């Protein structure tokens, strides 16, 4: 993508802008925020707390170290020296143009500028810019820190390179970019939502259904189908073996029936507004907005995690994002010059709130997770990456021995060091030492035996030359290290000695 984006700016920190800031921060970006509201900092930090809670449940992949958050008093100070800018001010064309022109005036010429507008054409917004080619729409969906879809729409003067850079950046922070083929008001997703919204207003206006009944119709019915397969693929299945052609021939004529009032909309007069407010209060009033946000986040995480098991839809996006997180977590070590005269420091972690048991300490399974993440880092370090696995080879853990030496409390930082204890053409043995960075204490250790396997047949086989050479390189240093007294006592001794 060229220049790596690490410093970003968010202009406007309401529900959408705050969501952008949270996603960027949790993906390691430094974020400078400008919003004139005196409540913006308080509200954003509350949203960030919810986002951190959701991310702790969303993935077991090691999250990157959060970026730094800075509130600044002017747009000029916010955009100076940044590489990516997300504008999320209210949906007022004149206000947006004024803000975007000020951003364009002070931002570095190489910075990409995106607007979160939910309906305004970028050609309208980029008028008057001195560098309009680097401006485009990046339209997200609430909550921005969880939902991956972002619609990318360029204007008449937007360059293809800017759209490409924005798409790659969004993808790198766990999103699913959808680049529009044509510039159109309200883009794609909001036009679909608007159709359902308009029909829903008529059903309430005509006393056919309440807000709760309409929401139930969506969340217990077609909403579930849409969440995992969308509209047209769902209808393809509805056509049976003959597919979408049969569906269209069977249900197409109904488009001429007077079912829908999509070409008309009821007047949002005070009577209809009061009716909707009363019904909505009865439906959801027992929960605060923050409660509803957390319930929503829990539900979204559960759906995304469930679909990840099927490698399908949003779950496939989450899986790809997790692979990026693992790669980022391991890349700093893998790309550096390692010192083999001492154990390798491959993994750092922090005890998340949902890792705690009823005593307020890290629960037993999470020790294994931290050590497992470190083993993954070691495998990445020696060259067993996704490309290697795609060729049909991997390492399987065949034995593990964990020693629990002291409790670890919530919020504590952890580092793990790894020592190679031996290897041959098919196996290697390592020991991990969990270290509390501040005190130097060792809360736990783990020892692992891993076997190189041809995954298609499930049988052990010699590892590739490059892995063997990397292990040899490590062993040339680690063979001189002191072997811990506890090593080997929980692992069945090999019949054949290791090197």
Compute the distance between CA of residue 388 and CA of residue 122 in angstroms, rounded to an integer.
43
CA distance linking residue 408 with residue 436, whole number of Å: 9
Say which residues have a Cβ less than 8 Å from residue 139's Cβ, sequence separation at least 6. Answer: 116, 117, 118, 150, 151, 152, 153, 187, 189, 190
Question: What residue ranges of the chain are covered by domains with CATH 3.40.50.720?
Answer: 7-187
Strands laid side by side in the 84-87 sheet: 69-71, 30-34, 7-11, 84-87, 112-115, 135-139, 149-154, 176-179
Supply 103's token pair: 């951003």
Cα 91 to Cα 47: distance, rounded to the nearest angstrom: 21
In the chain, residues under CATH classification 3.10.129.10 are: 337-478
H-type alpha helices, 117-188: 122-125, 160-172
- C-alpha triplet 295, 296, 298: angle, nearest 5°: 65
* Interstrand relation of 30-34 and 7-11 (parallel, antiparallel or unpaired): parallel
Tell me the whole-structure pTM to 2 decimals: 0.78
Structural class in CATH, domain 192-286: mainly alpha
Domain boundaries for CATH 1.10.1040.10 within the chain: 192-286
* pLDDT at res. 494: 46
Which ranges of 310-363 would DSSP assign to H, the alpha helix?
A: 314-334
Q: Which pair of tokens denotes residue 379?
A: 């495998």
Per-residue pLDDT of the chain (499 residues; tens, 9 = 90+): 446 899 999 999 999 999 999 999 999 999 999 999 999 999 999 999 999 999 988 988 888 899 999 999 999 999 999 999 999 999 999 999 999 999 999 999 999 999 999 999 999 999 989 999 999 999 999 999 999 999 999 999 999 999 999 999 999 999 999 999 999 999 999 999 999 999 999 999 999 999 999 999 999 889 988 888 888 888 888 888 888 887 777 776 766 666 666 667 778 788 988 888 888 888 888 888 888 888 889 889 999 999 998 898 899 999 999 888 877 776 655 545 688 999 999 888 889 888 889 888 999 999 999 999 999 999 989 999 888 988 999 999 999 999 999 999 988 899 999 999 999 999 999 999 999 988 899 999 999 999 999 999 989 999 999 999 999 999 999 999 999 999 987 655 544 555 5
Beta pairing, strands 444-454 & 149-154: unpaired
For residue 336, what pLDDT is reported?
Answer: 53
CATH 3.90.1170.50, applies to 7-187: no
In CATH terms, the superfamily for domain 337-478 is: Hotdog Thioesterase (3.10.129.10)
Q: What is the pLDDT of residue 1?
A: 43
DSSP 168-201: HHHHHTT-EEEE-SS--TTTTHHHHHHHHHHHHH
């Amino acid at each position: 993508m060229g220049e790596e984006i690490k410093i970003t700016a968010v202009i406007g920190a309401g529900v959408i802008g705050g969501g952008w800031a949270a996603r960027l921060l949790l993906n390691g970006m430094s974020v400078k925020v400008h919003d004139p509201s005196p409540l913006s900092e308080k509200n954003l930090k509350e949203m960030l707390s919810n986002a951190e809670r959701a991310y702790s449940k969303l993935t077991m992949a090691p999250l990157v170290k959060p970026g730094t958050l800075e509130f600044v008093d002017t747009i000029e100070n916010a955009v100076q020296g940044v590489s990516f800018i997300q504008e999320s001010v209210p949906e007022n064309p004149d206000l947006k143009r004024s803000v975007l022109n000020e951003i364009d005036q002070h931002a570095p010429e190489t910075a990409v500028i995106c607007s979160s507008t939910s309906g305004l054409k970028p050609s309208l917004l980029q008028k008057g810019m001195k560098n309009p080619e680097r401006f485009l729409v990046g339209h997200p969906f609430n909550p921005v820190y969880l939902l991956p879809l972002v619609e990318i729409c360029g204007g008449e003067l937007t360059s293809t390179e800017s759209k490409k850079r924005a798409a790659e950046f969004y993808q790198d922070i766990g999103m699913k970019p959808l680049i529009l083929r044509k510039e159109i008001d309200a883009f794609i997703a909001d036009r679909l939502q608007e159709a359902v919204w308009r029909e829903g207003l008529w059903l309430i206006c005509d006393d056919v259904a309440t807000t709760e009944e309409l929401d139930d119709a969506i969340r217990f019915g077609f909403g579930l189908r849409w969440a995992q397969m969308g509209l047209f693929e769902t209808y393809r299945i509805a056509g049976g073996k003959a597919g979408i052609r049969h569906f269209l021939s069977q249900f197409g004529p109904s488009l001429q029936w007077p079912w829908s009032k999509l070409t008309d909309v009821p007047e949002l007069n005070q009577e209809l507004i009061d009716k909707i407010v009363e019904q909505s209060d009865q439906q959801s009033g027992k929960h605060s907005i923050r409660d509803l946000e957390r319930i929503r986040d829990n539900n979204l995480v559960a759906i995304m995690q469930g679909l990840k098991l099927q490698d399908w839809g949003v779950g496939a996006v989450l899986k790809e994002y997790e692979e990026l997180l693992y790669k980022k977590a391991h890349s700093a070590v893998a790309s550096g010059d390692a010192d083999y005269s001492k154990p390798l420091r491959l993994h750092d972690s922090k005890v998340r709130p949902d890792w705690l048991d009823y005593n307020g300490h890290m629960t037993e399974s999470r020790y294994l997770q931290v050590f497992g993440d470190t083993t993954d880092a070691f495998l990445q370090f020696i060259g067993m990456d996704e490309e290697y696995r795609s060729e049909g080879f991997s390492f399987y853990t065949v034995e593990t021995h964990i020693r629990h030496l002291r409790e670890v409390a919530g919020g504590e930082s952890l580092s793990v060091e790894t020592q190679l204890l031996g290897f041959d053409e098919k196996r290697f043995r390592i020991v991990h030492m969990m270290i509390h960075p501040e005190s130097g204490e060792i809360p736990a250790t783990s020892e692992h035996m891993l076997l190189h396997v041809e995954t298609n047949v499930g049988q052990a086989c010699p590892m590739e030359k490059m892995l063997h050479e990397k292990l040899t390189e490590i062993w040339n240093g680690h063979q001189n290290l002191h072997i811990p007294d506890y090593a080997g006592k929980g692992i069945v001794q090999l019949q054949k000695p290791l090197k």
